[in-house]
Amino acid sequence: MTRTVLLTGFQPFGGEQVNPSWQAVSALHGTRIAGHRVVARELPVAFGASLKALRAALRDMRPALVICVGQAGGRAQLSLERVAINIDDARIPDNTGQQPVDVPVVAEGPAAYFSTLPVKAMRHALSAAGFPAEVSQTAGTYVCNHVFYGLMHALRRQRIVRAGFIHIPYSPAQASMHPGTPSVAVETVTEALRLAVKVALNTRMDARLAAGAEH
């Protein structure tokens, strides 16, 4: 039986016409990486509904590895997120008009969950291959963090399933509408994700490398 990797991206939001997270992961749908079949799913940019869609995908596919991907306009590198926090605090409304402020993702849930991906080994491999990559200490407090926290909560008793979140920059088409903001081509992100998945599947213990932040 072929094991499965679940990759998720998001619908456009915030007035954008596209979301490069979905463009990048959908390009890998149906491919095989390290003997695993890749399945891509698009999530709504909506508090609550995004987690319902994610949990349905987890039930349907029972994946060996899950990486959720989201857009973070303004960032210059692929950000391998280290920690998800139990708070929704939306600067802008989601696509359904919801704008929660200081609401827990999961009532009575722990304050935070750490990614179970080998984020340092992934960052090292990506950087060595010429992809812009960093380990990030914050996934924000919008729908991306909502999904990241909900993912880790859903898998909290399934230690064998590795999971986490990666933020990606604007695509060049988006950046052209936001002068001065960095971008990475969608095709480049797709190839970086291919490598990230391979490293996550083949790395049992994360590398001991400095990847912290001063601020």
Which of the residues 36, 68, 81, 134 is marked catalytic? 81
Q: Among 176, 111, 122, which residue's Cα sits nearest to residue 149?
A: 111
Which of the residues 36, 124, 146, 167 is marked catalytic? 167
The verdict on whether 81 is a catalytic residue reads: yes
- Whole-number Å distance between alpha carbons of 198 and 121: 11
The DSSP string of 11-43 is: ---TT-S--HHHHHHHTTTT-EETTEEEEEEEE
- Whole-number Å distance between alpha carbons of 65 and 5: 5
- Whole-number Å distance between alpha carbons of 123 and 191: 14
C-beta separation of 153 from 109 below 8 A: yes
The verdict on whether 167 is a catalytic residue reads: yes
Q: What are phi and psi of 147, to 5 degrees?
A: -70, -45
Which of the residues 144, 146, 153, 191 is marked catalytic? 144
Q: What are phi and psi of 111, to 5 degrees?
A: -60, -30
What residues act catalytically? 81, 144, 167
